[in-house]
């Protein structure tokens, strides 16, 4: 029996949230309402989501030895995530993000920095660190390290989910190892130079042999291609106060859905609902809920469908 349901390899960050009544005009000035220190980061937040959904979780990554690093480690530890393979880098600040949140819309602008000393060395990723899990979740930042993790997962028959929003050098070696690619809405077009999202997903899936090729669409939900068909899942309408971390929570919920054996449609719906609930609170992990609350939202909430995605998805 595997010791863990999910192992995550990738980024964490400690955010400073700056709440604004509204974004100022370009080169303008405005008084902010509040400043909050809050843990986040792509893979780390996805792993917190998995843990809060009851999965056994291990996180592999690096943190700085400053106050932000300590905040991050404390947050992960209190969620019950195994941190045996988290490396603390002495004399190095943790990855930092300053997130400007427009309280009138919930939208945010992110300014971030990651010290090169936080780079994860691929030699640190040994077989036993990956083979102990039922599923591997990665991002793309430390590309050689996540490639190593994905290759080990493939060798051990472990499915790989990938969260990517930026074109990274060498990521063409990672994509053939992905079972479930869930990219940002911009990434497929950036990677393929094909602006049509349907065509871009199809190109990527066919070229790299990806089982499910998908993209998140923010307020419009998510689109995926599987077995030659597209599945579109509209977003759930909630009172949005902060979109920070919505995509990360979506990925954590999708990992949970895969391990529960849900259909692709149900997986997308469940993940959209988790992401929507997270937008009802401040912070990257502020609104992570349990399965019961997600199911309740799915049963009552209005959904925001996008006509183009709806009409072009026969399975939708």
pLDDT tens digits along 208-226: 999 999 999 999 999 999 9
With 0-12 CB in 10 A as exposed, 13-18 as middle and 19+ as buried, what is 193? exposed
pLDDT value at residue 254? 98
What distance in Å separates the CA atoms of residue 82 and residue 35, rounded to the nearest whole number?
Answer: 30
Above 80 in pLDDT, residue 308? no
Domains and CATH numbers, the chain: 4-12+42-93+116-311 (3.40.1190.20)
Q: What is the pLDDT of residue 299?
A: 92
pLDDT digits (tens, 9 = 90+) for 144-173: 999 999 999 999 999 999 999 999 999 999
List residues bridging with 229 in a β-sheet. 226
Distance CA 116, CA 119 (A): 6
Please tell me the predicted confidence (pLDDT) of residue 307: 73
Residue 42 has pLDDT above 50, yes or no: yes
3 state SS of 260: coil
Spatial CB neighbours of 294, under 8 Å, sequence gap ≥ 6:
253, 270, 273, 274, 277
Q: Where are the alpha helices (DSSP H) in 101-192?
A: 127-131, 143-155, 187-192
Model confidence at 314, pLDDT cuts 50, 70, 90, reads low
């Amino acid at each position: 029996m595997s010791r863990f349901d999910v192992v995550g390899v990738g980024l964490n960050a400690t955010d400073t949230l700056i709440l604004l009544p509204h974004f100022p005009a370009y080169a303008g000035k405005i008084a902010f309402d509040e400043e909050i220190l809050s843990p986040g980061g792509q893979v780390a937040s996805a792993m917190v989501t998995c843990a809060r959904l009851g999965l056994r979780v291990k996180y592999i990554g690096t943190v700085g030895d400053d106050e932000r690093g300590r905040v991050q480690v404390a947050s992960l530890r209190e969620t019950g995530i195994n941190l045996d393979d988290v490396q603390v880098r002495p004399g190095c600040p943790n990855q930092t993000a300053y997130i400007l949140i427009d309280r009138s819309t919930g939208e945010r602008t992110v300014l971030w920095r990651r010290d090169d000393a936080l780079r994860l060395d691929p030699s640190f990723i040994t077989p036993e660190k990956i083979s102990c899990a039922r599923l591997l979740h990665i991002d793309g930042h430390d590309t050689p390290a996540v490639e190593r993790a994905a290759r080990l997962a493939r060798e051990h028959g472990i499915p790989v989910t990938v969260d990517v929003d930026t074109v990274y050098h060498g990521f063409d070696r990672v994509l053939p190892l992905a079972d479930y690619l869930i990219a940002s809405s911009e990434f497929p077009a950036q990677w393929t130079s094909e602006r049509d999202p349907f065509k871009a997903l199809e190109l990527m899936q066919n070229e790299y042999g990806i089982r499910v090729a998908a993209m998140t669409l923010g307020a419009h939900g998510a689109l995926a291609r599987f077995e030659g068909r597209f599945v579109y899942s509209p977003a759930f309408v909630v009172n949005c106060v902060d979109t920070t971390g919505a995509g990360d929570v979506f990925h954590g919920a999708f990992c949970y859905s895969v391990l529960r054996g849900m259909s692709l449609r149900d997986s997308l719906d469940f993940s959209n609902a988790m992401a929507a609930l997270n937008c009802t609170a401040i912070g990257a992990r502020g609104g992570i809920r349990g399965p019961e609350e997600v199911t309740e939202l799915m049963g009552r909430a209005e959904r925001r469908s996008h006509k183009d995605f709806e009409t072009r998805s026969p399975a939708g």
